[in-house]
Amino acid sequence: MTALVCRWTHERLVFLGDLNIVSRQHLPRFTTFRCWEYEALESLERYGLVDAYALLHPGDQVHSWIGRKGAGYRYDYAFVSASLIPYLADCEYIHEPRELGLSDHAAVVLTLDLPVDQVSASARSHHGTARAAV
């Protein structure tokens, strides 16, 4: 993961997905997680990526995966490079895919408001900004 992030930290980067790790601040606290798992998540921040959900929803503990015994975990993340922070419009978890049995994870939706001249031609709208949800 470090090699991936180091390669593109100077560019605009969105890094999202099911990482199967939790932060040290995760609630509830689980004793099964090891230091290397916490450190993997923290390394993303050391290399300049920002947890979009945590930035937009400080103090909110969301669970994107629910275990067989009902314990909730935040395994899914959307990180952005610092240069994209001014364009963050929203980051949310959609639980319907998990609740309907389509996946065992909630969907992560990251929305960026980018000036049209900074968006690919296929994603442009007719307005001054283009909203791109990833």
* Residue 115 β-bridge partners: 129
The domain that holds 37 is classified in CATH as: 3.60.10.10
Domain count, the chain: 1
pTM: 0.76
Q: Which helix (H) or strand (E) holds 59?
A: none
Residue 28 DSSP one-character state: S
> How far apart are the C-alpha atoms of 45 and 15, rounded to whole Å?
12
Per-residue pLDDT tens over the stretch 13-37: 899 998 888 776 766 666 766 777 7
| Residue range of the domain that includes 60 | 2-133
Per-residue pLDDT tens over the stretch 42-97: 888 888 899 999 999 998 888 888 877 777 888 899 999 999 999 999 999 999 99
Query: b/e per residue, 93-130, with b = 16+ CB within 10 A?
Result: beeeebeeeeeebbebebbbebeeeebeeeeeeeeebb
